[in-house]
């Protein structure tokens, strides 16, 4: 198959959706398909894709309507006899999806790692006319879209994210800087979405009860000055540490005691998957994908891999930490169960196999109808 991925994320932005797209493109390339990933010039995603051996190209999509760019993409699709176009953002669908219709590209899919489609008429118009389906990573997102009543039952396909579990990871030695302390670790973009303000409040609550905890956070973002000021105001300068951007968080995950996800919303939180792969107990807010990933049901938050808590609730975070941190046997059991679950159901290999099969089915169906 000849496949083009388009992702017009900002040049300096790179998150879980971008990592998924590169991993998917790399996996399909290794299976013998002709795959290209296109984005903005000098973008992080193109550099990352090139490092992974994925073919790249440049398309500048800046808005919902771009006639010149649409025609340019249509010509590219015709020239390369593209079978499948996979778009990331809504503007990618509107610009590149229209180009695919003009070029006669058989299959156009949107990939939604989060709830990117609301009940607005423009979303209905573009998704039902310019795409042949949506790929998502969470049953909760598929259920939300089903309520719109726009799509048939097979329009939205769930393909879980995957990761490659490293064979060996050397644990970061937190004891050199924090001797005698237990480490609560988190990672993510320093933005409102990730809920770090509530994590700081939880740390302040716990500080009134005990002095043996250190919170460490990897990430960068526009809220960094505000969050650092909040931690300082709460008297947490020595126990709430900002580590900045961390290219490889596996050593930190291996070296910590508990991982906490405090997000207000997610798609399928990759960082939770990574923590489980490092055999760490997880405390996660009840966001899209967390229950499916951790093995909890829709009605029962109990699971064998960690504790699920409500979002925007610092006391719930503090309570969950207190429940786990002094119970090494329970933490070890959660960690072991998490590793087994990820290695069984959430590998890159499984993700790529499921994606390849879905793309082949879509292409066969479209050609059969034609």
Q: What is the dihedral of CA 229, 232, 234, 239, to 10 degrees?
A: 130
Per-residue confidence at 39, pLDDT binned at 50, 70, 90?
Answer: very high
C-beta of residue 274 within 8 angstroms of C-beta of residue 297: no
C-beta of residue 252 within 8 angstroms of C-beta of residue 216: yes
Per residue in 80-126, pLDDT (tens digit) is 999 999 999 999 999 999 999 999 999 999 999 877 888 888 889 99
Per residue in 230-266, pLDDT (tens digit) is 999 999 999 999 999 998 999 999 999 999 999 998 8
Give SS3 for 118.
coil
Instruction: Locate 11 and state its tokens.
Output: 């040049």
> Cα–Cα distance between 70 and 62 in angstroms, integer?
11
At residue 247, the pLDDT reads: 83
* Residue-by-residue DSSP string for 167-223: S--PPP-GGGTSTT-EEEEEES-SSGGGTHHHHHHHHHHHHTT-S-EEEEEE---TT
At residue 95, the pLDDT reads: 97
Print the SS3 string covering 214-270. Answer: EEEEECCCCCHHHHHHHHHHCCCCCCEEEEECCCCCHHHHHHCCEEEECCCCCCCCH
> Cα–Cα distance between 250 and 235 in angstroms, integer?
29
| No. of helices (H) and no. of strands (E), the chain | 15, 13
Q: Percent of the chain at pLDDT above 70?
A: 98
C-beta of residue 296 within 8 angstroms of C-beta of residue 284: no
Instruction: Locate 37 and state its tokens.
Output: 């990933």
Judge whether residue 49 has pLDDT over 90: yes
> Cα–Cα distance between 148 and 170 in angstroms, integer?
47
Burial of residue 37, with CB atoms counted within 10 A of its CB: 0-12 exposed, 13-18 middle, 19 or more buried: buried
At residue 302, the pLDDT reads: 67
Per-residue confidence at 176, pLDDT binned at 50, 70, 90?
Answer: very high
> Cα–Cα distance between 94 and 6 in angstroms, integer?
12
Per residue in 351-369, pLDDT (tens digit) is 999 999 999 999 999 887 6
For residues 330 and 117, which has the higher predicted lDDT (pLDDT)?
A: 330
Domains belonging to the chain, first-starting first, are 2-162+348-369 (3.40.50.2000), 174-345 (3.40.50.2000)
At residue 298, the pLDDT reads: 63
At residue 332, the pLDDT reads: 97
Taking residue 367's Cβ as centre, other Cβ atoms within 10 Å add up to 11
Burial of residue 215, with CB atoms counted within 10 A of its CB: 0-12 exposed, 13-18 middle, 19 or more buried: buried
Lowest-confidence region among 48-57, 67-76, 155-164, 288-297: 288-297
pTM equals: 0.79
* Mean per-residue pLDDT of the chain: 93
The structure tokens 């669908």 sit at 93
């Amino acid at each position: 198959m000849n496949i083009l991925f388009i992702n017009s994320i900002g040049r300096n932005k790179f998150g879980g959706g971008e990592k998924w797209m590169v991993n998917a493109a790399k996996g399909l390339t290794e299976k013998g398909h002709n795959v290209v990933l296109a984005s903005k010039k000098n973008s992080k995603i193109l550099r990352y894709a090139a490092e992974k051996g994925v073919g790249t190209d440049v398309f500048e999509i800046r808005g919902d309507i771009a006639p010149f760019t649409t025609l340019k993409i249509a010509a590219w699709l015709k020239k390369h006899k593209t079978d499948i176009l996979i778009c990331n953002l809504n503007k990618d669908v509107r610009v590149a999806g229209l180009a695919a219709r003009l070029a006669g590209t058989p299959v156009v899919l949107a990939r939604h790692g989060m709830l990117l489609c609301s009940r607005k008429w423009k979303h209905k118009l573009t998704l039902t006319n310019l795409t042949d389906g949506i790929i998502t990573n969470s049953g909760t997102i598929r259920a939300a879209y089903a309520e719109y009543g726009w799509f048939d039952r097979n329009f939205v396909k769930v393909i879980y994210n995957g990761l490659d579990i490293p064979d060996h990871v050397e644990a970061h030695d937190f004891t050199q800087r924090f001797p005698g302390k237990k480490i609560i670790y988190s990672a993510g973009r320093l933005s409102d979405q990730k809920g770090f303000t509530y994590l700081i409040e939880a740390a302040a609550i716990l500080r009134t009860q005990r002095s043996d905890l250190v919170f460490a956070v990897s990430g960068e973002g526009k809220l960094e000055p505000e969050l650092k000021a909040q931690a300082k105001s709460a008297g947490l300068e020595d126990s709430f540490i900002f580590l900045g951007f961390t290219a490889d968080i596996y050593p930190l995950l291996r070296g910590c005691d508990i991982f906490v996800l405090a997000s207000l919303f997610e798609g399928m939180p990759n960082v939770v998957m990574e923590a489980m792969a490092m055999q760490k107990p997880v405390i996660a807010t009840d966001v899209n994908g967390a229950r499916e990933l951790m093995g909890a049901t829709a009605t029962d938050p109990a699971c064998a891999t960690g504790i699920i808590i409500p979002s925007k609730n610092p006391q719930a975070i503090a309570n969950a930490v207190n429940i786990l941190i002094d119970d090494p046997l329970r933490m070890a059991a959660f960690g072991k169960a998490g590793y087994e679950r990820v290695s069984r159901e959430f590998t890159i290999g499984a993700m790529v196999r499921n994606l390849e099969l879905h793309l082949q089915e879509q292409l066969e169906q479209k050609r059969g109808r034609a």
